[in-house]
A and B are shown apart, each in its own frame.
Chain A
Amino acid sequence: MDLLQSLRIAAPEQLLSLSAIVLLVASAWGQTRRDARAVTWLAVLTLFVAAVMTAPVLFEGVRGDAASAFGGLFSGDAFAAFAKLLIYAAAGASLLVAPAFFEKHRAYRPEYPVLVLFAVLGMGIMVSAQDLLTLYMGLELNSLAAYVLAAFLKPDQRSAEAGLKYFVLGALASGILLFGMSLTYGFTGTTDYAGIAAALAEGTVSKGALFGLTFVLAGLAFKISAVPFHMWTPDVYEGAPTPVTTFFASAPKVAALALTMRVSLEAFGPQAAAWQQIVIFAAIASIVVGALGAIGQGNIKRLLAYSSINNVGFILLGLAAATPAGASAMLFYLVVYVAMTIGGFVAVLMLKDADGNYVEAIADIAGLSRTRPLLALGLAAIMFSLAGIPPLLGFWGKFVVFQAVVEAGMVPLAALGIAASVIGAYYYLKVVKIMYFDEPAGKVTGKSDMVHEWLLATCALFISPLGYLITKCLIALATVSAGVLFVAV
């Protein structure tokens, strides 16, 4: 296992870091609006090239030793490639929507795309990690960039508050995670996933290792905003600038969930029974709290924040199954979730009043179907899809998760989860009701950006019934990727 092979496997990460550093240096000389736009496009181009480099790994289903790099610290396998492609796509989309928003506030700077690139690099390392230390490095790289991003809109007090909250709670979560990792190391004698799995393979799990596992999961639950560690989400999502929220709700979620899958299924895979209860509780609690919390919300970003908590609950149900089918269902749900989230936030970004100010209050979008019928149609489709109503693709995402849960023999869990999803349907319906049934408030009259329109159209088309046509290929890829996690067991 020579260095050259390792470098080849980690090529997308190198591209991202080099490009981020070069762009950072370049941005020191160019601070104009045009420079910032140019840097944004270069960053998107970088992500695209990185995606092209990653794609073959996924399609060839690379796994095992062929993917292992740097002495087993890093793995460029098909699972990582699946997550990375999703992260690149989500990050690219949230970069595209950013300039128009920040320029309105005269706050767009070339550092923004650079920070996003560093965050993406961190996420790439997270999903490829084969060792708790690699994991932590990736996680912190991602988090540090994210804290700055949340506070990026300097003149806005809410943005600064969001940044601070995110930092304090994120640091706490990192601490908990680190504590769990040290306990795990202490009781298994290694930080390597395969080593941990081997140490836990026989007999029952020791008390100390169980503590370690619990703390690791708690730390990760912070990052994926699963109940009971979800409290920061609505505040940060509401306070952060909307393009940043778009980013937070999509790419880091994918990374953190993929990471959680790796840690649970690879490192702690042999002791699935030990963490299944924790995951089941977190899943059901997230579904219920996410649904109930959203009901009273008047701000659409807060509503989408609760919706993301709710969705994480459904994704965790797939993890609770602890089967290859469950893991594959999680990956498929993540794809649909990213499309719905990006679409939802892009639609929010398109809600502008006559002066071009951004509208966030749900009451202000009353009667949107008459003033902006296509925008309302797109947003309504996303809402119905989030609620999991067929024929939209959100239904199929939930479906595969529940199928995996039922196949794992947990029928009561599936019944409970799906019954709780009806609560969620209520508040999604409320948004549709306000847009379609109420008299127009006449607030949303501003013109939208072309890029936004195209992004929303793409997302809406993907979650429309036409999206079912690609389910065959997508689920095949998800199954291959998820299979990677079960090789050691």
Chain B
Amino acid sequence: MLGFPILSLMLAVPLVAAFICLLVNAQMARTVALAATLANFVLGVVLWCQFDVGGAQWQFQESKELFSGFAWKLGIDGIALLLIMLSVFLMPICILASQGIEKRVGEYMAAFLVMETLMIGVFAAQDLFLFYIFFEAGLIPMYLIIGVWGGAERIYASYKFFLYTLLGSVLMLIAMIWMVQEAGTTDIPALMAYDFPVDAQQWLWLAFFASFAVKMPMWPVHTWLPDAHVQAPTAGSVILAGVLLKMGGYGFIRFSLPMFPQASADFVWLVYWLSMIAVVVTSLIALVQHDMKKLIAYSSVAHMAIVTVGLFAFNTQGLEGAMIVMLSHGLVSGALFLCVGVIYDRLHTREIERYGGLSINMPKYALFFMLFTMASIGLPATGGFVGEFLALAGIYQQSSLVAFVAATGIILGAGYMLYLYRRICFGDHKNADAAAMPDLNLREWAMLAPIAAAVLWMGVYPETFLAPMRGDIRYVETRLAAAKPTGDAQLTAGKPAARQDHAQHGGAH
């Protein structure tokens, strides 16, 4: 473990850079933002290297009693580590993807850097109210990013995003205040170990669910997402899909499940039904989209439904699968939005019909797009496969019906993704301007190649990503064990024939 407060440093670097960006000119701001995010990525790598896999549950802990009512308390476990890595990995790529922004560059970069600080803060906070402050504060920069740099309908989308998520979160705040009063501490690890009264758990669970379900987003409160995605600039969509949606999943695995295990079991039907509807409905909606970004946005909702199903499977496989789906979806949906951004920068339209035959004039682009399409479907050797397989295997032990319906999401996913890919990349050229588009440049290579490598790594050797969180998943599972509902698929190991004979023989006596 390092002697100096590395987590505070990771929070400070983008924040300081954000102030600098506000003061300097456009070109300088781009450089500063890229340098700061890369520096934070390096810090993230150091963090991972220093992280003691299989060691203490909470590492890199810092604590300072700076405020009234809550403390500056940071620390991470394996789950938080991986999500922080996802954030710092995607941020430099987002900054690279934003080189085309010409309007108010300094403020744009500042908003993104503040966003990075807040995202890391959400995952690193160990004080309940500090967590809430980071969690909610993210609304302000994201509101500005969508509203200032977004597309035509940006104002409506920014309002919808802000008010939806705010309404979801305020009830959680009341629940948090009650919890702190009951447990007498704001320390998240202590709260995770605290057994709340069973009748109160349901109310608390519902209050947290209101917030996380909106952030996640789950059907039917997902409608802000397609609007926000379509209207946000490319990098905004990447951050939204890549990291912000993961805050909902993180909330479930950090708060709802370990803190209210009994209520989680009681409301499991609610989660299952919402997830099943989400998988089927949003996949079908995705099939008929004409707008590329909207299609990917709906596919995100479907994937997040598989995450919730995995989380509420109450077993190791489900939880691990949900985490891997979150990580791989963070990378893959981010990459898909970048792929959309690449051709949007050239033709300035997201209409699928305007493209076609891109594999002829943009073969390298088509290759990357193919890889990410496959990863989104969940083809073996990509991270999506590992996650979805684990999540579905986990839920199968709990409910075969849910497993069956959720698995249709993969088939439907293959449907809409391949259909999208065919319309954009295959066939003959439909439009002269689309046919004249140049292939990937160096900057776009630098954006897509690292993500492709990470996706393949996660698919081929997921142990790298599973190992750090194994202990933490096990901890969540032990918290859940007492409340675990009985599943409909009780697997019993088949008994060897000889022993069976022996048993019958014994019974006859």
Binding site for B on A (CB under 8 A): 369-370, 373, 384, 389-391, 395-396, 399-400, 402-403, 406-407, 411, 414-415, 418-419, 421-422, 425-426, 429, 432-433, 436-437, 468-469, 471-472, 474-476
Contacts and interface: CB of A to CB of B under 8 A. Distances in A.
B68 to A, nearest CB: 4
B442 interface: no
B173 A399 contact: yes
A472 B140 contact: no
B133 A418 contact: no
Contact of B174 (A415, A426, A474): A415
B171 A419 contact: yes
B166 A474 contact: no
B167 A384 contact: no
A429 B158 CA distance: 10
B173 A402 contact: yes
A177 B144 CA distance: 47
Given A406-B181, A437-B154, A472-B67, A429 B143 contact: yes
Contact of A407 (B104, B158, B181): B181
A429 B162 contact: yes
B137 A390 contact: yes
B67 A402 contact: no
Nearest to B133: A390
B174 A402 contact: yes
A406 B176 CA distance: 10
Contact of B69 (A400, A415, A421, A432): A400
Contacts of B129: 399
A315 B210 CA distance: 26
A414 B139 CA distance: 22
B170 interface: yes
A389 B139 contact: yes
B155 A437 contact: yes
Contacts of A468: 66-67
B446 interface: no
A437 B170 contact: no
Contact of A422 (B66, B154, B167, B181): B167
Contacts of B140: 384, 389
20 contacts: A384-B140, A389-B136, A389-B137, A389-B139, A390-B132, A390-B137, A391-B137, A402-B177, A406-B174, A415-B171, A419-B170, A422-B166, A426-B159, A433-B158, A436-B144, A468-B66, A469-B67, A471-B68, A472-B65, A476-B68
Nearest to B149: A437
B243 to A, nearest CB: 18
A476 B134 CA distance: 25
A391 B133 contact: yes
Interface string B31-63: 000000000000000000000000000000000
B69 A370 contact: no
A399 B176 CA distance: 11
B273 interface: no
Interface in B125-141: 129, 132-134, 136-137, 139-140
Contacts of B69: 396, 399-400, 403, 471, 475
Contacts of A403: 69, 177, 181
A396 B130 CA distance: 11
B78 interface: no
Interface of B: 65-69, 104, 107, 129, 132-134, 136-137, 139-140, 143-144, 147-148, 154-155, 158-159, 162-163, 166-167, 170-171, 173-174, 177-178, 181
Nearest to B136: A390
Contacts of A469: 66-67
Nearest to B203: A411
Contacts of B162: 425, 429
A472 B178 CA distance: 21
B68 A472 contact: yes
A411 B68 contact: no
Nearest to B15: A465
Contact of A418 (B65, B144, B170, B181): B170
A323 B507 CA distance: 71
Contacts of B155: 433, 437
B137 A425 contact: no
A475 B174 contact: no
Contacts of A407: 177, 181
Given A389-B136, A433-B155, A437-B147, 13 more contacts: A369-B107, A384-B140, A389-B137, A389-B139, A389-B166, A395-B136, A396-B69, A399-B129, A406-B177, A415-B171, A422-B166, A469-B67, A472-B66
A395 B173 CA distance: 11
Contact of A437 (B132, B137, B148): B148
Contacts of B171: 415, 418-419
B174 A411 contact: yes
B372 to A, nearest CB: 32
Contact of A474 (B66, B68, B133, B144): B68
Contacts of A384: 140
Nearest to A425: B166
A426 B177 contact: no
Given A384-B140, A411-B178, A418-B171, A471 B166 contact: no
Nearest to A422: B167
A414 B133 contact: no
B178 A406 contact: yes
A62 to B, nearest CB: 23
A472 B65 CA distance: 9
B304 to A, nearest CB: 24
Contacts of B177: 399, 402-403, 406-407, 414
A471 B67 CA distance: 6
Contacts of A396: 69
Contacts of A433: 147, 155, 158-159
A370 B103 CA distance: 11
A369 B103 CA distance: 13
Contacts of B132: 390
A315 B129 CA distance: 21
B67 A422 contact: no
A212 B341 CA distance: 69
- A425, A437, A469, most chain B CB atoms within 10 A: A437
Nearest to A479: B68
Contacts of A471: 67-69
Nearest to A475: B68
A332 B136 CA distance: 21
A432 to B, nearest CB: 8
Contacts of B143: 429, 432
B73 to A, nearest CB: 14
A396 B67 CA distance: 11
Contacts of A389: 136-137, 139-140, 166
A441 B171 CA distance: 38
Contacts of A370: 104
B188 to A, nearest CB: 17
Contacts of A402: 173-174, 177
Interface centre among A384, A402, A418, A472 (most CB of B within 10 A): A418
A462 to B, nearest CB: 15
Contacts of A411: 174, 178
A482 to B, nearest CB: 14
A262 B177 CA distance: 27
A465 B381 CA distance: 45
Nearest to A472: B68
A373 B22 CA distance: 10
A384 B167 CA distance: 15
A476 B171 CA distance: 27
A469 B69 CA distance: 11
Nearest to B167: A422
Nearest to B159: A429
A415 to B, nearest CB: 5
What 3 A-B pairs have minimum CB-CB distances, sorted nearest first?
A390-B133, A471-B68, A475-B68
Contacts of A437: 147-148, 154-155, 158
B173 A418 contact: yes
A389 B169 CA distance: 11
